[in-house]
């Protein structure tokens, strides 16, 4: 594991300390987890929709007619 120095504001660090204390964990452990989550969500996810190949999910369940109100169905609260 690599040791690093990171400068953060006092309120942010104190919030991490307080959260870690309540959960009986080390502050550094929480910060490592936060860095890993950021890495997974922002750094590793470099794919664009333009780079993805289309995937078939099958055909329509039933034919759509001119009288169908698809928007109404999508916005409806009932199933």
Radius of gyration of the chain (CA): 24
Q: What is the pLDDT of residue 25?
A: 97
Tens digits of per-residue pLDDT, 9-67? 999 999 999 999 999 999 999 999 999 999 888 887 666 777 777 888 888 787 777 77
CA atoms lying within 13 Å on the CB side of residue 12 = 8
Q: What is the pLDDT of residue 19?
A: 96
DSSP E strands in 3-78: the ranges are: none
């Amino acid at each position: 594991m690599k040791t690093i120095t990171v400068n953060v504001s006092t309120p942010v660090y104190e919030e991490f300390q307080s959260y870690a204390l309540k959960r009986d964990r080390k502050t550094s452990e929480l910060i490592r987890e936060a860095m890993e989550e950021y890495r997974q969500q922002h750094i590793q996810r470099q794919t664009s929709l333009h780079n993805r190949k289309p995937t078939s999910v099958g055909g329509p369940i039933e034919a759509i007619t001119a009288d169908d109100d698809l928007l109404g169905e999508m916005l409806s609260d009932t199933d």
